[in-house]
Structure 1
């Protein structure tokens, strides 16, 4: 056996494990809508201020990054993130900022953060929520499922 084989195996596992635990975010709403129609799924649209909004950070850390939630989310919805970071190091491209602003004009006129919208694959809002301290992962799954049932 090659002396580098164990290193290669470990690197492969690390990369594979990180990939399977990541949320499959889309950043283009039109792409997400097309995918949602192909999969016959609803869309979850998240408006977040990832680097300045404490409730957004808690939602990401305690709910959206949870393995059980990621597994549920990936099987049941197409996910779109409209991020509005403020720090220079997290600055989005001009094209992405424009796309996010257009989504906000349509779906988040008050610019509230975080906002989670469940939409059918035609873009109609089925339900909305934000960060709720009293909900754990199972609570969010139940809530999103209840919105999802309105679109079916």
Structure 2
């Protein structure tokens, strides 16, 4: 019986490790380079990580799950655009995030936008694929919603 419990714990731990391996870029320029190399769209996550209850809930129920990690690795380049109240950010990140908030007309958190991005002559163009926020039903429901955007 102990062997089964240990095996289950190791199995569950491997999923937790997989979810932790996700890389969330904070620099959109770097994320665009990765997106262009991998031919994957950007997933822009607008969040108030240390104060927004729905953002924290989305993280816990979806974004930090093994199901989401597996989906994200296959389908998107992750970009976190955070608007914290307590955490310190560099002036460059604050400026970038505020500009993107204006460009996309973000009025509430969490907002997730899937986009294709191209950069030409120092100018970035975004082609919106869809946007969502918190979706009830856990990772499967959220992934179904995102997949509908990616089919377009």
TM-score where L is the length of structure 1: 0.79
1:21 to 19, 22, 33: 19
**Within 1, Cα distance between the matches of 2:70 and 2:144?**
14
Q: Paired residue for 1:9?
A: none
Q: 2:141 aligns with which of 120, 139, 142?
A: 139
In the alignment, does 2:84 pair up with 1:121? Answer: no
Query: How much is the aligned-residue C-alpha RMSD, in angstroms?
Result: 1.8
- Which segments of 5 or more consecutive residues in structure 2 lack a partner in the other structure? 1-13, 119-125
Q: Once the 2 structures are TM-superposed, how far is the Cα of residue 73 of structure 1 from its aligned partner?
A: 0.6
1:86 Cα shift?
0.4
Q: Retained in 1: the 8 A contact 2:71–2:143?
A: yes
1:36-115 equivalence runs, <5 A: 36-87=35-86, 90-107=87-104, 109-115=105-111
Q: After the TM superposition, which segments of 4 or more aligned residues of structure 1 sit over 4 Å from their partners?
A: 16-19
Question: Which whole-Å CA distance do the structure 2 matches of 1:30 and 1:103 have between them?
Answer: 12
Runs of at least 5 residues in structure 1 that lack an aligned partner in the other structure: 1-15
